[in-house]
Amino acid sequence: MTDASRSAPDGPRVFRGAAFDRLLFFSDAVVAIAITLVVLPIVDSARELDGRSAAQFVSDSGWELAAAALTFLVVGVFWRTHHGVFADATGATHRAVTYNLLWLACIAFLPVPTVLIVDAQSDDRGAHGLYVGTMLVAVVALVLEELELERHGLLAAADVPQAARWATAGGFALAFVLVLVFPSWSMWPLLVLVPAGWLPRWLQARARRSGR
């Protein structure tokens, strides 16, 4: 199988074989580096104990540790979702690669707003908006990538309602609005992602019942 071939005479160029594998390896490498960078500021802080005990360090760095843990969790969930999309994909179009690069840009950038929400004022809507907004763009890029792969037969079409596909993005969009309107709430608006995570399963179950 060649590294890149056309799926149809007038169709988009599709990356397969080694070219497709390189895309996945590159994506995993970017995620691994980004998730490591999230922890580096804490490592630097741990080098400057200034006579404090480990317990004092943890107490003094509570918000920094919480922000790093949250970003680590978010990146981990994003990677797992990305892996789920590509586990059964047989190739990628140029447009899918573009969406993937946008997704990777968001992942690589996340350590920056993570530091900003730690160092900025608790009601800094710019820092909070940048943090949640970056995640929102990442979610949208991944959904668009999945739809692109399905459109060209490179991934089996998921039997889910369109509303279920966009439920998580809708949750992030709502959280984004809330952190801008109510900056004093800090990252608490992200809790809307809990019901947003349940919504796709509920919509799928409802669609199955309607189809009977």
Give 76-132 pLDDT, tens digit per residue: 999 999 999 999 999 999 999 999 999 999 999 999 999 999 888 777 899 999 999
Distance CA 143, CA 81 (A): 10
Residue 2: inside a domain, yes or no? Answer: no
pLDDT value, residue 4:
57
pTM for the full predicted model: 0.86
Maximum alpha-carbon separation in the chain: 70
The domain containing residue 94 runs over which residues? 12-211
Residue 169: inside a domain, yes or no? Answer: yes
The helix/strand/coil state of 6 is: strand
Residue 89: inside a domain, yes or no? Answer: yes
Residue 54: inside a domain, yes or no? Answer: yes
User: How many domains in the chain?
Assistant: 1
- Residue 170 in tokens: 């809708």
Asked if 92 and 100 count as a contact pair (C-beta separation under 8 A), the reply is yes
Residue 187: inside a domain, yes or no? Answer: yes
Handedness of CA 50, 52, 55, 60 (dihedral sign): negative
The helix/strand/coil state of 50 is: coil
Residue 23: inside a domain, yes or no? Answer: yes
- Residue 41 in tokens: 């500021």
Residue 206: inside a domain, yes or no? Answer: yes
